């Protein structure tokens, strides 16, 4: 670890953080989307007449939930492909 | 990687840089125009079906008497974003929405349209008043308007770009047949995102426009005094 130059160290840390971040950041929205879909299916099974409204609301809420996962993805992509830290601390 | 790069192709009038996204948008505009003209000649009933679909979609969320002022904007948003998302299956073309600038432009259109409709419906001070019902909520509302625009941008851009990225990654590993499944998945995402952005824009417009209608109905029915009293009570509580 002491032999690494700081540039490589930051890169390695970034890769680890990106991996951990994308895993956690996709697990939680996935679970919550599953919950939302399950509840919506419950509602549709109980009241088939209300299916169109439930479907619209479910799609909207799932899109809102998915946004958090997309945020994580974008942050991870910025870290991996356009890392601002390396240039900031070590001038490229 | 090729997915992120949007190179400057040429300069318009020598100063304005034109990226490939803009060129794709122009191609898309010509494509939509030709498509609509062809459909209008061949089967006019199809256009009516599209209009009915969009009207039903907006009518589900927006609860006003006259939909006509809102339909052109929302329909245009839906058709443009839908076809823009689907454009990337044509070989050689990129979907314009995989560039964050196009997505930001869409979100800004929605932001300003919401303010425009709100002010037109209620007048400037009336709109500001609903904006800041207890006065200290005003900054929070401003923040929510901005963050809503940001989330619209990032949702559209992130979904389309990640679809393209996944297809590119799989293509670099197994170029045969396997990417087709993921491309169909990204098509589904594209249709869904067009639907979601339109529905969210409708929701935001509804939240800017609708409250006034209920107030007016109450006033017309002679509940004006009761309404103001009720507002005073709720204000006192909060």
pLDDT digits (tens, 9 = 90+) for A41-78: 999 999 989 888 888 888 888 888 888 888 898 889 88
Is residue A38 pLDDT above 90, yes or no? yes
CB pairs under 8 A between A and B: 39
**What pLDDT is attached to residue B83?**
92
- CB atoms B199 and A60 under 8 Å: yes
**What pLDDT is attached to residue B238?**
42
- CB atoms B199 and A81 under 8 Å: no
**What pLDDT is attached to residue B126?**
81
CA-nearest residue to B2 within chain A is A81
- CB atoms A59 and B195 under 8 Å: yes
d(CA B81, CA B90): 16
Name which of A25, A63, A80 to mutate to probe chain B: the one with the most chain B Cβ atoms within 10 A of its Cβ.
A63
**What pLDDT is attached to residue A91?**
57
CA-based nearest distance A62→chain B, Å: 10
- CB atoms A63 and B60 under 8 Å: no
- CB atoms A66 and B151 under 8 Å: no
Ramachandran assignment for B91, one of left (phi > 0), alpha (psi -120 to 50 degrees), beta (any other): beta
CA-based nearest distance B159→chain A, Å: 7
Per-residue confidence in pLDDT tens, chain B, 238 aa = 566 677 777 777 778 888 888 888 999 999 999 999 999 888 888 888 988 999 988 888 887 778 888 899 999 999 999 999 998 888 778 888 888 888 999 999 999 999 998 888 888 888 888 777 777 888 888 898 899 999 999 989 988 888 888 888 888 888 888 888 888 888 988 998 899 899 999 988 888 887 655 566 666 665 545 455 455 555 544 4
- On chain A, the residues whose CB falls within 8 A of the CB of B165 are 77
**What pLDDT is attached to residue B234?**
53
**What pLDDT is attached to residue B107?**
92
Residue B108 belongs to what H/E stretch? helix B100-122
CA-based nearest distance A89→chain B, Å: 24
Q: Which whole-number Å values give the CA distances from A19 to A22, A75, A77, B182, B213, in the listed order?
A: 5, 12, 11, 22, 50
**What pLDDT is attached to residue B231?**
52
Residues of B numbered 22-61 whose beta carbons fall under 8 angstroms of chain A's beta carbons: which are they? Answer: 60-61
Do residues B219 and B227 touch, judged by C-beta distance below 8 A? yes
**What pLDDT is attached to residue B177?**
86
CA-nearest residue to B199 within chain A is A60
- CB atoms B158 and A81 under 8 Å: no
What is residue B214's three-state secondary structure?
helix
- On chain A, the residues whose CB falls within 8 A of the CB of B4 are 81
**What pLDDT is attached to residue B137?**
82
CA-based nearest distance B236→chain A, Å: 32
């Amino acid at each position: 670890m002491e032999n690494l130059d700081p540039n490589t160290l930051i890169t390695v840390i970034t890769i680890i953080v990106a991996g951990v971040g994308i895993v956690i950041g996709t697990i939680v929205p996935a679970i919550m989307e599953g919950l939302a879909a399950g509840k919506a299916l419950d509602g549709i099974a109980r009241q088939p007449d209300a299916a169109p409204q439930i479907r619209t609301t479910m799609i909207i809420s799932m899109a809102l939930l998915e946004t958090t996962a997309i945020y994580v993805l974008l942050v991870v992509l910025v870290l991996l492909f356009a890392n601002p830290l390396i240039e900031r601390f070590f001038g490229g | 990687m090729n997915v992120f790069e949007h190179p400057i192709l040429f300069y318009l009038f020598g100063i304005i840089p034109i990226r490939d996204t803009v060129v794709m948008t122009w191609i898309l505009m010509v494509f939509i125009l030709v498509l609509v003209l062809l459909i209008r000649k061949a089967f006019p009933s199809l256009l009516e079906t599209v209009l009915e679909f969009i009207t039903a979609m907006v009518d589900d969320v927006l609860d006003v008497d006259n939909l006509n002022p809102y339909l052109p904007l929302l329909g245009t948003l839906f058709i443009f974003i839908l076809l823009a998302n689907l454009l990337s299956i044509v070989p050689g073309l990129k979907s314009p929405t995989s560039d964050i600038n196009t997505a930001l432009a869409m979100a800004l259109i929605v932001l300003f349209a919401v303010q425009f409709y709100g002010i037109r419906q209620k007048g400037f001070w009336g709109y500001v008043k609903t904006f800041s019902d207890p006065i200290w909520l005003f900054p929070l509302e401003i923040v929510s308007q901005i963050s809503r625009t940001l989330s619209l941008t990032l949702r559209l851009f992130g979904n389309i770009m990640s679809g393209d990225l996944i297809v590119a990654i799989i293509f670099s590993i197994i170029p045969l047949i396997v990417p087709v499944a993921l491309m169909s998945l990204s098509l589904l995402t594209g249709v869904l995102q067009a639907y979601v952005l339109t529905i969210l824009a409708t929701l935001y417009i509804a939240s800017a426009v609708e409250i006034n209608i209920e107030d007016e109905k109450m006033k017309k029915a002679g509940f004006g005094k009761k309404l103001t009293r009720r507002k005073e009570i709720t204000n006192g509580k909060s």
